[in-house]
Structure 1
């Protein structure tokens, strides 16, 4: 049997060989690393530690630059948004100036401006916040990248890199703080923009309110124009009644010609032009002329009183109704065969003619009389007994009487023709009463009805129509009777709006019981009832001594119509808050 040959394996030697190979490889790696470092040094490059530090530093710089760019972009956007808000604010200011726009347009402009400003501000805030968040996120990502890079360089460079990482972290924190500061600044700018938007909204709201006020004024003006138009139409209808038969007899051509002629005649030279005499035509309006003549009339009465010495004054009579005076003036002026004139405007010549007609229709007479009378005086004898003593005295009486002529009597005096009398009747028709109220007193509508009635009585003296209507058989202090009479003419007593009272104290009590009373600090309205507490020899006792009707309030003064003012119906005026005014009743008209 042949011998099997085997190869002998020395395992220990093989292990040693592997260790030798590993050692050789480590040696080669060390040599290569040394050569690499040497080459880096020979090529002028930095060490691995410095290289890592440079990498980190560059990354930090990149972070700072990115942060700066983001902040700059956010700030720029904020500035642009602010400019846009300012531009819209200027547009709203322009809209505010255009207050004559209809209220709906102003409100729409204000609403759009407000929504636009709020939307713009919100978008600015959101954009800035997103930019800040993105900046912080970028900084954090860069921080993680730097840390990973530092770890990958190996333990040999870790110690050197830690300092650089800390420096980079400080830079990152600084960048974060800068970003936060920028965000805060931008938010402040956004808040400022919000405030600007709110101010813009307020301005727009004010513009809307101004537009509503302008619209309200336009409505009032429109109403006045409508009323004037209605007046003109009524005048035209009244003037064309006499031509109905002629128009019916002719053809359509005749109708057109007659209507055109009538319109021109009515506007330019008709007696119905008197209804437009209170308009602003460049001269003095009729309301002022009437007040001026009333003042002259009161002056005549006062002149008579001052011209004589008397002990007792007795006045009686009534003045011509103003609408009759103006009707006679309108017909006479426009139909004068020698010098016809229109009556829609006023000049010195026409005013002189009107005064002449007024004094021809109103006559003031006066006389004095001495009377010897027995006067009974009661005294106390000191023991509780009343002693009557008869004394004979002689007193001087001053009698003032006012008489007037009617429109028909003046038509007879001036020799009016049938056509002139017909025009006079048309002017004085009851359907034109509201037109006369507007011409004489500037009152339109029913709100000033009691004022119009009171004004129509200005100049009447003695009070006989008022105290006799109340039920007295002889003269009494008649100021309250006058107010009651005016209220009755308007139907206010029957309606329970104003009481029938002859004593001022009773009138005050009636209004106070119904919660219709204001003290003298109140600014009254036309138609309110004014009550006085005179500061006479007895002083003011808190009880009313006199009453009247409020005509109007202008320039800090209250104008009144009062009965029994110097024993006549007069227009008076006082400063608002006058100490002798006890207060005002405010009827619920």
Structure 2
């Protein structure tokens, strides 16, 4: 509400006749009434509470002004400021009331004069109405402007002033940075002053020559951390000592280089001699092996021809000839490191445990290999028969030799580690001797040897096994590393079916392989090996897989087949088919016809024959590998494929 003027300012002389001031007084009164009315309407519209009193209106305006000032300046109005504003408003209100009362009294005194001149009064009223209209228009414009301003103020109240907060945070960060910079400058000045007052010291750090870390290619890794020595001397007093130490270090390095060269030459000579010795032994062993195998094959052919010629009457002579062949073979192999040697009773006593963990880790066909490893490692004696304490899978005991105190746990850890060696070497069959040898040497050296041998030489050889041992011994500063002849040492206990497999058919090997698969359900291992993408009737796939693991398919002793009739056709074409009523030997394939329509429905492997009962190992028997038994004259038996 605008202030009301309390004093007339005019350049015209005042007149004593009050009637002359009537038009002006009437106009002023009309203007004031118009202002008060328009202001009352605006206040009622803003507050939605009808008409407000002047004190309520003033209080609201004061509060609005305080909030606006706080938003603009960031300051709040104090109680003293509010009191001063309220006092000013009361004074203005009093002056307005006094002025209004004076105007009313003037109007009463001049009432008669106004009625005396009607024409003049009508003109004045018209002029007043025109002024009121103009004033109303002006008040409307002002009211609209005030309303727009208040809407903006309400919107500003609802929107958080994030910008001011961000500006305050940025100012704080700048202040912190400035303080940090000043502190760093002070520290620099202080340190410079300290250096100028105290003499400098020289620190000489003698670092030993860094040795390349050995690759993690073994079961045991020894890490050493040479210590470095710090020597603090005064340059004015001990500079000569530093020079002398540096000279001594250079001389020591030169002596180390000379010693290393001499050791390398010695190792090279030893390696060369060792390689020549191993090559000579290998050639001798290979020649002996070839000669013995040739002798066995000749003896086998002789025995077979004599059996055909003499029949049952020559059984005694055949038996004598077989004994003679065995004696010759034994003599031929008496000096060969890869000749077959018997497993100890201690190793044989762990056969069931070996089969259990071999099945668990997916290498059931390698039971004979694992037995040979155990025989070489410990002979089956002690609490760590697989010598697997230093394997990474040993988590119960320390990784030091013979630390494992549980034979069962030693076998589990050793087989788990050997399964990794087979996988690293890419060995998929015990008959793959090249990769089998690589896996065996990896068990002794650590499977890092396998990666090294494949990358540099494509696989195992006696020469690179010796080279690897010498290199590792030199890098670690040891006198020896592993057993360079570990492979021939293990293979003397492993027959892989035996040299007499050609004579006796290798039946025992296929039965051993089949027995390791007992309990397998679903047969995915076998039908996927054959090449099928989904489940099929897999009895023939199982028989073929066992024959492949025993080396019979590679040697041409049996076919790889997935249909029983195809297997029968192959045996009939080779003249190796026997009908029902025949007494089969272990390893013979037995074919069945369940409904008697002349088509084979099932195949198994003969485990043994006792009297009139045939015992078998069959795949896909109730969708698993199971053992069965039949009467030798059972009508469902079609016949046998002789290996």
TM-score scaled by structure 1?
Answer: 0.34
RCO comparison, higher one (Cα < 8 Å, 6+):
1
Larger radius of gyration: 2
TM-score scaled by structure 2?
Answer: 0.31
